A and B are shown apart, each in its own frame.
Chain A
Amino acid sequence: MVKGEKNNMKLEDGVVCLKLSQKMDELGIKGESNFYWVKINDVTDGNKEKWIVTLDIWSSQEIPHEHYKAYSVAELGEMLPRRLDEYADLICEKRKDEMTVYYGGNDGCGEILRCLTEAETEADARAKMLILLKIDKYTSDSKNKWWCKGDNYLDIKLYEEDGGLTNDKKELLKIVMQYVEDGGGDCKIDEVAIEQNIQNLIDDIEVLAIRIESGEFYEEPNDEFC
């Protein structure tokens, strides 16, 4: 296939996936969208329940029972803040096999990275960033706690919000989260190879907490004043 020519996209591929759409709705993230995930009974397939993406073409009497806004890449681009602070601008980057969204830049002393999300599609990477910014509000006071927060951090926070953790794990989680907020960053969680699978991530928190407490990952926190 010639580079620059591949294009056989479905509507579903250009919008946020259903799972993230539901999460955005649950968290009260609001924006304009021309598209919706709608639950239907497919009469051509034994009345099976299916989720499809449609345009917002129904009248107020016809609004389907269960539906979620399916934000497109362009719509998500409008919703994401241009920058978090004077050093951290929104950057979207196409990398091999994934799209990356991050807030970063150069503060005069070096590269900084406040947060980063990745996904197979651009829409999902942008949606994850919006979710991260919603569950963990960025303020100028909390600036120093924002160092390389990423997908692992987001996964744990969402899992925590869903009440999926036992009390023991919650305590361990505090150690990990404190470490991330003190400047360890999400990339350190990656170092112990516990990404992708949320259950593995939770299972490995114990190992990670022990390693953090032993000082194995200790680094100077990002210094605002260089």
Chain B
Amino acid sequence: MNYENQVVSLELSKRLKDLGFKQESLWWWIIRAEGNPIIVGKDKRYTTTFISSSYSAFTVAELGEMLPIGIVMTKYEFNKGGEIRWACAYNDENIGNRICDDTLANCLARMLIWLRGKKII
């Protein structure tokens, strides 16, 4: 598994930052003045030059800490084509939702965004 699949995608990381999630993580997406976005460890974040912006690239473990009790995750086969995806749900007496994505990190990030939208967190 490459590093990128272990953390939230750049697009979702930006949304999490926009929604005000605390930017405190082991890994960071770094946008440099030139070149492609890269993922760096938090120690390297301050030594990488020409950064125009940076975003917390949360891991699955970090997202798990941020999510409330009651989150349930499962794997499923997409369209019976052998492609495995992740789904997560938040079960509450009044609210239930199911969110899916190709990677567990993105799936949990989408759940955080949904929960913030519903003002649950």
Contact = CB atoms under 8 A, between A and B. Distances in A.
Contacts of A4: 21, 66-68, 112, 115-116, 121
A82 B80 CA distance: 13
Contact of B6 (A74, A96, A121): A74
B26 interface: yes
B1 to A, nearest CB: 5
Contacts of A83: 75
Interface string B7-31: 0000000000000011011100000
Interface string B70-101: 11111111000000101000000000000000
Contacts of B116: 4
B73 A74 contact: no
Given A13-B61, A74-B60, A6 B74 contact: no
A7 B26 CA distance: 10
Contacts of B64: 73, 94, 99, 122
A138 to B, nearest CB: 16
Nearest to A123: B61
A13 B5 CA distance: 18
A82 to B, nearest CB: 4
Interface of A: 2-11, 13-15, 32, 34, 55, 72-75, 77-78, 80, 82-83, 89-96, 99, 121-123
8 contacts: A4-B116, A10-B26, A74-B1, A78-B1, A83-B75, A94-B64, A94-B68, A94-B69
B105 interface: yes
A71 to B, nearest CB: 10
A32 B75 contact: no
Interface in B35-75: 41, 58-62, 64-75
Given A74-B1, A122-B60, A6 B65 contact: yes
Given A7-B65, A94-B68, 20 more contacts: A5-B66, A7-B58, A9-B59, A14-B26, A14-B62, A34-B2, A34-B3, A72-B60, A74-B103, A74-B105, A75-B1, A77-B75, A78-B1, A93-B70, A93-B71, A94-B64, A96-B69, A121-B61, A122-B61, A123-B61
B106 to A, nearest CB: 11
Nearest to A75: B1
Contacts of B22: 5, 7
A72 B61 contact: yes
Interface string B98-119: 0000011100000010011000
Contacts of B75: 77, 80, 82-83, 89-90
A91 to B, nearest CB: 5
A90 B108 CA distance: 16
A96 B69 CA distance: 6
A59 to B, nearest CB: 18
